[in-house]
């Protein structure tokens, strides 16, 4: 996938939302060489789509209100990063140009919160493995966008990162897929919705437990009552670990023992039935 193809997935989000959505990217991870080439491609495509003066374009969204405009402006005014593109703004028009920041330190103001606006920091890394480490060192994202055709890298991001959704070679469009669960992990949210996932999220699986008051049930429950003994302790320990899977080495033996027990029970039932019939 070329850098131009990668950016063609980003640019429409400026038109429609100016990145004012929870599933918009908060930063880009790439190598230094890819960063410079990508910004160059972004600059060219923005000019092609929105014209030489971006603010005059009717196809470029504005900030939703003054409160968010002021919040975004504060990020621009306090950042120590380099403004590689954009940065100009007009409050009367609620306009902030698509802005790309480079030389970004992880402690910078632009990296401390979800941006929800047209400010895109570039953080340089040297490898896909370093990108995975960077992602895993932070709160789990609501959406993770990975642009690559490398199958090994796809597998690595799928297996070694955790996020609400993982999207390859596209941006935001996963939200439109009704059959795909949408939701977060940890700080980015819990649960998911869309299709069956909505029903499961807003449903409660209620556990129901019942006590057997028959002679056998009461006898089995008696291990909980004093006086206690080492034998009762062992039985309670066995009951507490009942949910653990059976080791493969013992599964065959237990199956044989179960079959044998059923055979004995069936034989005993036959004998008892015969005796009852004889007595009658």
The predicted-structure confidence for 226-249, as pLDDT tens digits, reads as follows 888 888 888 888 877 765 554 555
Q: Is residue 39 part of a domain?
A: yes
Number of domains in the chain: 2
Residues 95, 89 contacting (CB under 8 angstroms)? yes
Q: Is residue 210 part of a domain?
A: no
pLDDT (tens digit, 9 = 90+) per residue, 3-28? 555 555 655 555 556 788 888 899 99
234: left (phi over 0), alpha (psi -120 to 50) or beta: alpha
Residues 274, 141 within the same domain: no
Residue 71 neighbours by CB distance under 10 Å: 15
Q: Is the pLDDT of residue 125 over 70?
A: yes
Residue 264 neighbours by CB distance under 10 Å: 10
Residues 274, 155 within the same domain: no
How many residues in the chain? Answer: 280
Residue 136 confidence (pLDDT)? 96
Residue 47 Cα to chain centre, angstroms: 35
**Looking at per-residue confidence, does 256 or 20 come out higher?**
20
Residues 20, 94 within the same domain: yes
Q: Is residue 194 part of a domain?
A: no
Residues 6+ apart with CB under 8 A from 217: 211
Q: What is the mean pLDDT of residues 188-209?
A: 83
Residues 153, 241 within the same domain: no
Q: Is residue 241 part of a domain?
A: yes
Q: Is residue 228 part of a domain?
A: yes
Residues 150, 265 within the same domain: no
Q: Show which of 154, 172, 189 is a domain's final residue.
A: 189
Q: Rounded to two decimals, what is the model's pTM? A: 0.71
Q: Is residue 179 part of a domain?
A: yes
pLDDT (tens digit, 9 = 90+) per residue, 97-117? 999 999 999 999 999 989 999
Q: Is the pLDDT of residue 278 over 70?
A: no
Residues 184, 239 within the same domain: no
In whole angstroms, give the CA distance from residue 256 to residue 37. Answer: 68
Q: Show which of 154, 189, 224 is a domain's final residue.
A: 189
Residues 234, 170 within the same domain: no
Residues 114, 150 within the same domain: yes
In whole angstroms, give the CA distance from residue 158 to residue 167. Answer: 10
CATH number of the domain bearing residue 127: 3.40.309.10
> 86, 96, 87: which is closest to 64 by C-alpha?
96
Residues 271, 161 within the same domain: no
Residues 171, 219 within the same domain: no
Q: Is residue 171 part of a domain?
A: yes
> Residue 73: in which H helix or E strand, if any?
helix 66-78
Q: Is residue 200 part of a domain?
A: no
Residues 110, 19 within the same domain: yes
Residues 43, 105 within the same domain: yes
Range of the structural domain that residue 256 is part of: 215-279
pLDDT (tens digit, 9 = 90+) per residue, 32-83? 999 999 899 888 888 888 888 999 998 888 999 999 999 999 999 999 999 9
């Amino acid at each position: 996938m070329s850098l131009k193809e990668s950016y063609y997935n980003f640019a429409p989000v400026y038109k429609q939302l100016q990145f004012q959505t929870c599933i918009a990217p908060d930063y880009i991870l790439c190598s230094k060489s890819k960063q410079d080439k990508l910004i160059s491609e972004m600059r060219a495509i923005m000019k092609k789509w929105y014209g030489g003066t971006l603010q005059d374009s009717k196809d470029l969204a504005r900030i939703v209100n003054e409160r968010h405009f002021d919040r975004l402006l504060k990020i621009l005014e306090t950042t120590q990063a380099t403004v590689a593109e954009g940065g100009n703004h007009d409050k009367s028009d609620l306009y902030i140009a698509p802005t790309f920041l480079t030389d970004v330190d992880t402690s910078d103001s632009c990296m401390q919160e979800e941006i929800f606006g047209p400010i895109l920091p570039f953080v340089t890394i040297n490898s896909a493995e370093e990108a995975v480490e960077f992602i895993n060192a932070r709160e789990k994202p609501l959406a993770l966008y990975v642009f690559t055709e490398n199958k090994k890298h796809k597998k690595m991001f799928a297996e070694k990162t955790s996020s609400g959704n993982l999207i390859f070679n596209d941006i935001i469009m996963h939200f439109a897929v009704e059959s795909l669960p949408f939701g977060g992990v940890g700080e980015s949210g819990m649960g998911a919705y869309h299709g069956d996932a909505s029903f499961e999220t807003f449903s409660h699986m209620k556990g129901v437990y019942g006590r057997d008051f028959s002679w056998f049930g009461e006898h089995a429950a008696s291990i909980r009552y004093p006086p206690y003994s080492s034998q009762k302790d062992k039985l309670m320990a066995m009951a507490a670990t009942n949910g653990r899977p059976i080791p493969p080495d013992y599964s065959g033996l237990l199956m044989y023992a179960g079959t044998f027990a059923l055979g004995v029970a069936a034989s005993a039932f036959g004998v008892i039935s015969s005796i009852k019939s004889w007595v009658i």
